[in-house]
Amino acid sequence: MGEVRKWLESREKALQPFSSLSQNTWRRYPEERDSFRTDFQRDRDRIIYSSSFRRLQYKTQVFLVHEADFYRTRLTHTLEVMQHACTLARALKVNEDLVEAIALAHDVGHPPFGHAGEKALDELMKDHGGFNHNLQGLRIVDELEKRYPNFPGLNLTFHTREGIARHHTPYDYCPPLEEFQKFPQPSVETQIVSVADELAF
């Protein structure tokens, strides 16, 4: 058992030396490894089947007045970010599976009504630490999702969680979290998702 996963992991050796490798990551709660998927592929699948990912279809990204009743949801935006990010990852020869997982989860912490909704919520919560969608996204995948009986949240890998917490654009900023400060810069895969997020805005 595990030959398929090992074969997939061996293909990662052809990636750039600064790429994140799925065999070098870890989870907050140890689990037996999957036989047919890398840990990053497993993260991607957990995100796709999560309630928070599915709720993105009901959250508005941007209203376009000139397009009649057309509007973009967080889900359509997220799929565009994923497509841009995966293309960039493939071109740069870095871990496409990790990029895909981060891109799919990068906005799960957003409230409705786009950045205006986040700004209003941050103002309302300023006496209690404010509101940040990156931190909320991490809280959702770490605690609020209830899909597994043995641990809270989705138990995503460190690298995927780092990508959720540390992706940023001119519209997004996350205060530093001690857990991720061991590495001064986010992974190249996280940085690619940040660029793709700007391209898809």
| pTM of the complete model | 0.92
User: Residue 89 sits in a domain of what CATH number?
Assistant: 1.10.3210.10
Q: Residue 176: which residues within 8 A CB-CB, separation 6 or more?
A: none
Q: Is the pLDDT of residue 155 over 90?
A: yes
**CA distances for 72 relative to 60, 109, 116, 142, angstroms:** 6, 17, 15, 27
Name the residue range of residue 77's domain.
3-199
Task: Identify the bridge partners of residue 157 per DSSP, sorted by sequence position.
Answer: 27
- Number of folded domains that form the chain: 1
What whole-number distance in Å separates Cα of residue 132 and Cα of residue 39?
27
Quote the pLDDT of residue 62: 58
Do residues 97 and 67 touch, judged by C-beta distance below 8 A?
Answer: no
Using 50, 70 and 90 to split pLDDT, how confident is the model at 67? low
Q: Which has more pLDDT, 139 or 114?
A: 139
Q: Is the pLDDT of residue 66 over 80?
A: no
Quote the pLDDT of residue 184: 81
Using 50, 70 and 90 to split pLDDT, how confident is the model at 69? low
Q: Where are the beta strands (DSSP E) in the chain?
A: 60-63, 71-73
Using 50, 70 and 90 to split pLDDT, how confident is the model at 54? very high
